[in-house]
Amino acid sequence: MIKANNDEAVYFQNKSAATQILGKENLLFKLKKKNSIEDERNGQMKRAIITTYFRHVSYKQKLPNIRQSARNKLLCMSRICVCSSVRGIAEMPHIPADFKDYQLHRKLMSNERLPEYFNFCSDVIDQWAVSKIRNPNHPAFWWIDDSGKELKWTFSELSQLSKRAANILQNHCKLKVGDKLIVILPKIPEWWIINLAAIRAGIVLSPGTILLRSNDIKHRIKSAGAKLIIADVSSVDNVDQATKHLEDCPQKIFVGDKSDTRSGWAHFGSLMDEAPAKFETIKSKSSDPMTLFFTSGTTGAPKMALHTHGSYGYGHSITARYMLNIDHNGMMWNMSDTGWAKAAWTSLFAPWIRGACIFIHNSDKFDPERTLQILDKYPLTNFCAPPTVYRHLVKQPLHRYSLSKNLLCIGAGEPVNPELLKEWHDGTGLNLYEGYGQTETTFLCGTYPCVEIRPGSMGKAAPGIDLEIVDNDGSVLPRNTEGVIGVRVKPVRPMGLFSHYVDDDNRNKAVFKGDFYLTGDRGKMDEDDYIWFIGRDDDVMLSSGYRIGPFEVESALIEHPAVLESAVVSSPDEVRGEVVKAFVILTEPYSNHDKEKLREELQNHVKSVTAPYKYPRKMEFVDQLPKTVSGKIRRVELRNREWGRNGTEVSEKD
């Protein structure tokens, strides 16, 4: 049963009623007219009819006398009504890949709003577990590793396992709704179960990469006020070091072999064996907090970006529909590490919203040959990786592999250059699409089936997202003018935008200006609404998909007795796009040391005190650093020097 909206009691309870109404040609042709789409009241009633129809029959099997374009428009229109029922999100009709009407997508998505209540587990996972749309025995989760291990779970099994884990959080750990949980796990199945369990119980989960060191972990525990930390055996020692002198030490659970015991740690597997199978999922509001991400900034330690049940759990329906264009027959492989928001994007929320299977390969290191073997062997429909990965793949003998011609390949985490687009297409015959967004958002902009690829451009704004190029005060700039990429938040806030930065009023004020959220990325928009990326507005670096703040690296360097002062900026790299470069002023005792040995020593030092991916791959020893009159380091000058710019980049404020 479907209700069109809260004001109109429009119900169509069976297939025959919908079919009878749809059989009237005059209604079908009225639906094709533009004015009928713009008539909101009538449109809602018509969408209710169409939705009922498409939930019972395939649009390809019926309406034989209606042109393909008209059928596609009818199907597209039906999506909004389905979303008006919260539980309908798991059964939204799939948009055909050949549906090219971008403007119609934007018009229809502009009407979509977050429901008052939403919980990803009860409204998506549990709904797919009982849905008749997909085969209940087909896997929703497919995991492999390099040792030959393999595991598959259905939606029903995900539902059951996450309820047991939720009982651990609520009953064993005594966590309450809103309490914070830090999870530091590699790409092992427990990561997915614990994420779902936290959502069920209303616990705010904060993911972290296994590359975090004790200082990183300590900062996160104190900043978030975490009540519990779950880690694998490789991170246990770092967690113990981080919590050694904490007054309010969180509870600790480790994931590993049952034969392994750790003092002060409970064992996750043993707790799962004892946990009850029944659990009542909380009735969460869309505005309730769900996930806390630590994201690197220009100054200070990483900041806390808070997402809600609506912004990520529901908001990634945009990512699913447009960036992935996936349905319940699909299988998605995203190579992102579990510590990053990108894992939440397409290794958790977006594929499962559409009922697709999530495929995971757990490996200690990236191997381009192994990656291509997996793409060749498994029935994947979607693949997402940083452009750095594709740059390694195109160097392989691609002709030896038979990649599916239906494989949708996406580059995300850093810009995709035109040369890579050509090399990938020449080697595989496949397009390389681009997806752009941030930890603070869902899918914002990209190239996807209903948007033509223009090499060098990030594509167009995702339907449901209003992007403009603005100045630092949030005023819209003319076309082809460089400025900050802004997301319009007034009069209607987009459903995929984060709530706020926790305990950071200054940063909140800095990014919300006028009617816009300022992404901190600079670009231009042409007359056809294509966005062309220029670079970061601040000093944050993107290297191999990792987001790195200069302060974190500089703080690590300054701990070494050889370093008097340092400045860290991005530097161009053919493979990684950009890498971290440090300009270092040495202390007097080290001024005459062997520079090559000292460079290696400092690099290893950074790796030892913070996450290794942050270490400066390039290092230059200098006598002085450029500064403002107030003594602030002018990283912009160093950055311009590295990238061969002539000072045209916007200067830092004194």
Torsion of CA 151, 154, 157, 159, to 10 degrees: 130
H runs (alpha helix) in 248-305: 268-274
Classify the C-alpha dihedral 206-212-215-216 as positive or negative. Answer: negative
Q: What is the pLDDT of residues 127-156, one digit of tens each?
A: 999 998 899 999 999 999 999 999 999 999
Q: Calculate the average pLDDT of the chain.
A: 85
To 5 degrees, how large is the angle CA 10–CA 13–CA 18?
80
And the tokens for 118? 């939403």
CA 81 to CA 492: how far, in whole Å? 19
pLDDT of residue 78: 45
Q: What is the pLDDT of residues 422-434, one digit of tens each?
A: 999 999 999 999 9
Q: Rounded to an integer, what is the distance from CA 197 to the centroid of its chain? A: 19
CA 341 to CA 535: how far, in whole Å? 20
Q: What is the pLDDT of residues 594-626, one digit of tens each?
A: 999 999 999 999 999 989 999 999 999 999 999
pLDDT of residue 646: 55
Mean pLDDT of 467-490: 97
C-beta of residue 357 within 8 angstroms of C-beta of residue 139: yes
CA 481 vs CA 41, 469, 486, 538: distances in Å: 39, 8, 13, 18
Q: Tokens 């038979």, residue?
A: 402
Q: CB atoms < 10 A from the CB of 379, how many?
A: 13
pLDDT of residue 181: 99
DSSP state for residue 474 in the 8-state scheme: S
Domains of the chain: 15-109 (no CATH), 117-133+148-306 (3.40.50.12780), 315-460 (3.40.50.980), 466-537 (2.30.38.10), 541-642 (3.30.300.30)
> Which residues in 66-220 belong to E strands, given as ranges?
141-145, 150-153, 180-184, 204-208
CA 246 to CA 265: how far, in whole Å? 16
pLDDT of residue 5: 31
DSSP 33-83: SHHHHH-HHHHHHHHHHHHHHHHHS-TTTS-TTS-HHHHHHHHHHHHHHHH
The larger pLDDT score, comparing residue 19 to residue 4, is at: 19
Starting at the edge strand that comes first in sequence, how are the strands of the sheet with 577-586 ordered? 563-573, 577-586, 618-621
pTM equals 0.81
pLDDT of residue 110: 74
Q: What is the pLDDT of residues 377-393, one digit of tens each?
A: 999 999 999 988 998 99
CA 89 to CA 79: how far, in whole Å? 9
pLDDT of residue 546: 81
Query: Does the pLDDT of residue 652 top 90, yes or no?
Result: no
And the tokens for 169? 């959080």
And the tokens for 556? 């690590």
Starting at the edge strand that comes first in sequence, how are the strands of the sheet with 432-436 ordered? 150-153, 141-145, 357-362, 331-334, 382-385, 408-412, 432-436, 445-446, 460-461
